[in-house]
Amino acid sequence: MNIQAKKLPKVSLVGAGPGDPELITLKAVKALQSADAVLYDALVNEELVGYAPASAVRLFVGKRAGRHSYRQEEINKLIVEHAYHYGHVVRLKGGDPFIFGRGQEEMDYVKSFGIDVEVIPGISSSHAVPAINNIPLTARGMSDSFWVITGTTSGGKVSNDLYYAAQSNATVIILMGMNKLKEIMGIFSRFQKDETPVAIIQNGSLPNQKMGIGTVSSITSIAREKRLGSPAIIVIGEVVKVAQKEEFMATILEQLEKKS
């Protein structure tokens, strides 16, 4: 690795939030404003990179499931190289760096070079996107807890935790699960959850957001009809009924407006 110090190296692992550029923390904005270099992912809203000084180096490293511009090992090396060469590196990651963001791997690698690392949490899509769409993850009499699970493990298989989650009454939020949707619903069906409500929200918090609501038994066909795909989150549980009521009322109001 060609590393030649010019400024005191420092790395900030920063969560960019779920997509809406206004859903970023003030601390994250301040880190960007002091950045000498910004390495950002595919799921990061590019408006946020504009907070960095005009002189800051900007590098798109484009990590997205199945379509990686750089391997994780390459990104790790780039972070260190840029820190030694430029100084303060902001590693801008979608959502929260420590929720399926491989932030811990990047932190450990950078620290192994003796470089100072700070972690600035971000608003995770796992709870923000349901909230934006009026889906509470916990609600009295409906759900006492929630699980956040990856739909696809590093080995390309569904997580074993889904089998345990499917047996609980908790709300289940699945990230990176659209490629395994049919298989995931099959797991819940195996535990007599066919009629459990399910919501799929694509591009949550963005203007081009799309949502489909159904049940464990129907959501796969609904996703196909609505052409729902990644990036999306899957919410399974009785709490989805809250959004169903909102959707029903919106439809009624729309019909009344047309009649008038």
Q: Which positions are annotated as active-site residues?
A: 41, 63, 176
* Cα–Cα distance, 142 to 162 (Å, whole number): 19
Contact call for residues 37 and 61 (beta carbons, < 8 A): no
Contact call for residues 36 and 85 (beta carbons, < 8 A): no
The CB density around residue 80, as the number of other CB atoms within 10 Å, is 20
* Cα–Cα distance, 79 to 91 (Å, whole number): 7
* Cα–Cα distance, 91 to 229 (Å, whole number): 26
CA distances from 50 to 20, 148, 166, 187 (A): 14, 31, 42, 43
- Report the half-sphere exposure of 145 (CA within 13 A, side-chain side): 6
